[in-house]
Amino acid sequence: MMPHSARSAATAVICIVVALLMIGAIAGCDRDEQAQAPDMPDAVDAEGTEAEVADGAAPEEAEQPGEPAAAGEDTPDAPGSATGGETSMATTVKFETNKGDFVAELYDERMPITTGNFILLIESGFYDGLTFHRVVPDFVIQGGDPDGTGMGGPGYAIPLETHDEIRHERGALSMARSQHPDSAGSQFFVCLSNNASVRNLDGGYAAFGMVTDGMDAVDQIVVGDTIKKATIVSESEHADAARKAAEAAKISTGR
C-alpha cells in the first residue's frame, strides 16, 4: 500500500491535470463559437460605411476644399477653363469699319434662321465695302444695303423670327425689314440706347445678336461710313444647323 502522503500527492496531481483539461476544453468551445458566429452589428456598420465612401464622399468631406498641390506639382484644369476641358464657343463676327472695329455674338441656337442667313452673307463677302445708309441718334445705325438707299437686298427674304428671351437694347444686332413681317434680307441695324423707342422693337423685329466689343466705334458711325470687311471669328456647334435652316427658309422676292 501507498503511504497516505503519497496517495494525497497523487490525488492532487490528478486533480490538477483534470482541471487543466477542463479549462482547455472550455477555451476550445469558445473559439469554435466565435468562428461560426454571424457578423455582429458593428461589422455590418463598418461595411456600410466603407460602401458609402466607395460610392461617393460623405457630405462633410465633399464640402471641404481640396488640399493645395505641392510646389511644382501639376493639377488638372477645371472643365471649361481657358487651358483645359471643353468650352462652349459662341458664334462671333467682326466688322472692320473706317471708324474702328466691333465684334458681335450671334444667337445661332435661339435664332437659327436669322443667324444662319447672316453667317452665309458674311461668308459670301456680301457686306464687304457696303455703307451705313441710315443713322438715327439714340436709336440705331443701319447698313447692309448693296444699293445704299435702304431699298436693296440679297434678292430674297427670310421669315420673321423672334424669341421671348432676346430683347432690343443698347448693342443689340437686329434685322431691318419693310412693313411686311417676312421681308428681312440683308439690312441690319445696331441699337444705340435702351430707351422706349428701342424697347418697342421687341416682337416685331428679329434681334439675333449683341455687340460684345467696340460699341465706342459703333457710336461714332455716321451716314456714309463703310464696312471694310466682315468676318466670322468663331463658330458654335449650332452654326451649321443655322446655315441649313436659313437656306431652307429663304423666300423668293422675284428680283
Cell 422675284, residue located: 254
pLDDT at 131 over 60: yes
Is residue 112 in some structural domain? yes
Is residue 120 in some structural domain? yes
State what percent of residues in the chain have pLDDT above 70: 65
Supply the CATH number for residue 199's domain.
2.40.100.10
Q: Give yes or no: residues 10 and 96 share one domain.
A: no
Give pLDDT, residue 253.
84
Could you give the CA distance from residue 81 to residue 66 in angstroms, rounded to a whole number? 18
Q: Where are the alpha helices (DSSP H) in the chain?
A: 4-36, 41-55, 59-62, 112-123, 196-199, 215-220, 239-249
Q: Give yes or no: residues 207 and 131 share one domain.
A: yes
Is residue 108 in some structural domain? yes
Could you give the CA distance from residue 242 to residue 228 in angstroms, rounded to a whole number? 25
User: What is the DSSP code (8-state) at residue 170?
Assistant: T
Give pLDDT, residue 44.
28
Task: Read off the pLDDT band of 41 (50, 70, 90).
Answer: very low
Find the mean pLDDT for residues 42-62: 29
pLDDT tens digit string along 55-103?
233 223 322 233 333 333 333 333 333 333 445 699 999 999 999 999 9
pLDDT at 248 over 70: yes
3-state secondary structure 52-121: HHHHCCCHHHHCCCCCCCCCCCCCCCCCCCCCCCCCCCCEEEEEEECCEEEEEEECCCCCHHHHHHHHHH
Could you give the CA distance from residue 184 to residue 182 in angstroms, rounded to a whole number? 6
Give pLDDT, residue 65.
30
pLDDT at 252 over 60: yes
Q: Give yes or no: residues 31 and 95 share one domain.
A: no
Is residue 79 in some structural domain? no
Q: Give yes or no: residues 122 and 239 share one domain.
A: yes
pLDDT at 168 over 70: yes
Could you give the CA distance from residue 176 to residue 198 in angstroms, rounded to a whole number? 13
User: Looking at per-residue confidence, does 69 or 40 come out higher?
Assistant: 69
Domain interval for residue 240? 91-252
Q: Give yes or no: residues 131 and 25 share one domain.
A: no
Q: Are 125 and 144 in contact (CB under 8 A)?
A: no
Give pLDDT, residue 11.
56
CB atoms within 10 A of CB 74: 6
Give pLDDT, residue 7.
55
Q: Are 184 and 160 in contact (CB under 8 A)?
A: yes
Is residue 237 in some structural domain? yes
pLDDT tens digit string along 3-17?
555 555 555 555 554
Q: Give yes or no: residues 97 and 29 share one domain.
A: no
Is residue 230 in some structural domain? yes
Is residue 134 in some structural domain? yes
Give pLDDT, residue 197.
96
Is residue 45 in some structural domain? no
Q: Give yes or no: residues 27 and 99 share one domain.
A: no
Could you give the CA distance from residue 145 to residue 157 in angstroms, rounded to a whole number? 13
Q: Which residues of 38-48 are buried (b: 16+ CB within 10 A; e: fewer)?
A: eeeeeeeeeee
